Amino acid sequence: MATGQERSTSPAPSTASKTRGDDYVYFERSMEGFSSDAVSRATAAKLKLESYYKLAVDVAIERNGRRVELEQKINQGVIPNEAKEREIRKYRKLESQHLRLRRTKIRLTDFRTVKVIGKGAFGEVRLVQKVDTGKVYAMKTLQKAEMLKRDQASTKLAHVRAERDLLAESTSSWVVQLFYSFQDPLYLYLIMEFLPGGDLMTMLMKYDIFSEDVTRFYMAECILAIEAVHDLGYIHRDIKPDNILIDKNGHLKLSDFGLSTGLHKTTDGDYYKRLIDQDKQRDPARNSVQVNAIHLTMSREQIATWKANRRKLLILPSGTPDYIAPEVFMLKGYGKECDWWSLGAIMFECLVGYAPFCSENPSDTYKKIIEWPSFLCFPDEVHLSHEAENLIRSMMTWATQRFGVNEIKGHPFFYGADWENLRYIAPPFVPALSSITDTTYFPTDELGNLPDQLEVVEQVGSDKDLAFLGFTFKRFT
């Protein structure tokens, strides 16, 4: 008999001996006698079985919840039998459709690429059309092999799962909706709603600054979007203008919860500290917090350069740290209050025309943020109301002193805001669209001529592919 199943005649535990006879045979479970290949295969089988049955149980719980909801609905008040029968038939039809959707395997070939509308360090965003229905979606792709190659792969995989889980759980009108997620040996895919109005960064680049009234509207919608994410138990950590998308009606939704920008090293304090160390090696007289005044005093020309280069920063692994809270960099722990700092930085840019700590390189921006009390200043040539400046300062301060959502909502800057009906108020900008596939508000010209087909990249082995187990999702609507 294999070592892993050797008998043991050692005395039984005292608790067990009370219920089992003296002749009961015990086994010592050990993996010492198995090869590493057998152990890895057993572990893979265990993970796959756990994932399979977890999904089955979750589906059963959801289905039971829908049945209970139906029973409560038809048992409320006096409902004619005919109406009850109609509700039951409707329920059965929907459940049948749900089961059919669960059995359907979603593949890349189910979608036709219309246009590439975005590119990041880990993949692309494509406007796609589902072949059988003609419905339009935004498809995010992420290279598996690239994720596993880069530093802190386990952390990044956790971020991918966090984004997928948040989008799968969310039904909020303030969060981009996920319809499907699936994978193949090369890529992960997220099929999401397409928001044709572009992003807030594109609007800022076009209009330079907003009025306080326009800023008030967009900041109010951002507050409700961030609050929705926090209510789901998540922290965004990387809120910035290019993660705030505009739908066909001109209202905002939050996107990018870790898959693209959240996985960049913008949220890695060690990365920026390494940049500082490189500066020290070039100039040993400078310490990690000393600031070069020439670099950190931005002229109009330098600000213009920052604006011109900001779109290019999105496709670099380092990203841009302009909107990240100081406590995220300091590696001392942080909570959801870090998102309110980011919103303060965005509000500053909306009213002033550039980010509060913009610099010609990320390391200088990092240093400014760490030493923010010395560098958060409002230019004399830009007139802001007392309420606007006070709100920005109340969000862009140390985490322990920073305003929370209720204090922000109650600030005089938002006096008279109808928080319950924001989504029904006419927005300051509504995209003029010619079709459901209109990409006018996306800077696709900057991307060049990219192929319709995804690049054939390195394939991930079956052992490493276990890291992406359970990624698949289908939304039942």
Contact status, residue 435 vs residue 384, Cβ threshold 8 Å: no
Mean pLDDT, range 365-384, rounded to an integer: 91
DSSP letter (8 states) at residue 446: G
The answer on 253 and 363 residing in a single domain is yes
Decide if 97 is inside a domain: yes
Does the structure show a pLDDT above 60 at 286?
Answer: no
Phi, psi of 261 (to 5 degrees): -80, -30
C-alpha 27/C-alpha 23 separation (Å) is 13
Q: Is the pTM of this model over 0.95?
A: no
Length of the chain: 477
Mean pLDDT, range 74-99, rounded to an integer: 82
Mean pLDDT, range 216-221, rounded to an integer: 96
Our separate counts of H helices and E strands in the chain read 16, 10
Instruction: Note if 463 is an active site residue.
Output: no
Q: Which domain holds residue 185?
A: 108-194+452-474
More confident site: 305 or 138: 138
Mean pLDDT, range 445-471, rounded to an integer: 71
| Least confident piece of the model among 83-87, 165-169, 287-291 | 287-291
The answer on 140 and 82 residing in a single domain is no
Does the structure show a pLDDT above 70 at 437?
Answer: yes
Which of the four pLDDT bands, split at 50, 70 and 90, describes residue 237? Answer: confident
The answer on 99 and 115 residing in a single domain is no
Does the structure show a pLDDT above 90 at 397?
Answer: yes
Contact status, residue 221 vs residue 197, Cβ threshold 8 Å: no
The answer on 464 and 324 residing in a single domain is no
C-alpha 416/C-alpha 407 separation (Å) is 15
Active-site residue among 238, 242, 247, 279? 238
* Residues whose CB is less than 8 angstroms from the CB of residue 408 and which lie 6 or more positions away in sequence, other chains included: 223, 340, 391, 394, 395, 414
Structure confidence at residue 219 (pLDDT): 96
Structure confidence at residue 463 (pLDDT): 67
Q: Name the β-bridge partners of 125.
A: 118, 140
Which of the four pLDDT bands, split at 50, 70 and 90, describes residue 321? Answer: confident
Structure confidence at residue 9 (pLDDT): 46
At 349, the amino acid letter reads E
Structure confidence at residue 392 (pLDDT): 96
pLDDT in tens, 205-218: 888 899 999 999 99
The answer on 139 and 166 residing in a single domain is yes
CATH code: domain of residue 366: 1.10.510.10
The answer on 56 and 93 residing in a single domain is yes
336 annotated among ligand-binding-site residues: no
Give percent of the chain with pLDDT exceeding 90. 36
Structure confidence at residue 266 (pLDDT): 35
Structure confidence at residue 101 (pLDDT): 77
The answer on 381 and 266 residing in a single domain is yes
More confident site: 119 or 367: 367
Decide if 292 is inside a domain: no
Mean pLDDT, range 276-300, rounded to an integer: 42
Structure confidence at residue 311 (pLDDT): 53
Does the structure show a pLDDT above 80 at 183?
Answer: yes
The answer on 150 and 169 residing in a single domain is yes
Greatest alpha-carbon pair distance for the chain in Å reads 91
CATH code: domain of residue 165: 3.30.200.20
Structure confidence at residue 272 (pLDDT): 44
More confident site: 455 or 84: 84
The answer on 176 and 78 residing in a single domain is no
Decide if 319 is inside a domain: yes
Q: Name the β-bridge partners of 187.
A: 143
Does the structure show a pLDDT above 80 at 87?
Answer: yes
Does the structure show a pLDDT above 60 at 450?
Answer: yes
Q: What is the mean pLDDT of the chain?
A: 79
From 54, 70, 103, the end of a domain falls on 103
Decide if 433 is inside a domain: no
Mean pLDDT, range 313-327, rounded to an integer: 70
Structure confidence at residue 398 (pLDDT): 94
Structure confidence at residue 305 (pLDDT): 59
Q: Residue 428 is encoded by which pair of tokens?
A: 């300051």
CA dihedral (393, 396, 401, 405) positive or negative: positive
Number of domains in the chain: 3
Does the structure show a pLDDT above 50 at 73?
Answer: yes
- Pairing of the two strands 178-183 and 187-193: antiparallel
More confident site: 354 or 272: 354
The answer on 387 and 257 residing in a single domain is yes
Decide if 209 is inside a domain: yes
From 103, 119, 143, the end of a domain falls on 103
Decide if 136 is inside a domain: yes
At 292, the amino acid letter reads N
Contact status, residue 166 vs residue 213, Cβ threshold 8 Å: no
Decide if 334 is inside a domain: yes
The answer on 229 and 357 residing in a single domain is yes
Does the structure show a pLDDT above 70 at 163?
Answer: yes
Decide if 295 is inside a domain: no
The answer on 411 and 270 residing in a single domain is yes
Does the structure show a pLDDT above 70 at 49?
Answer: yes
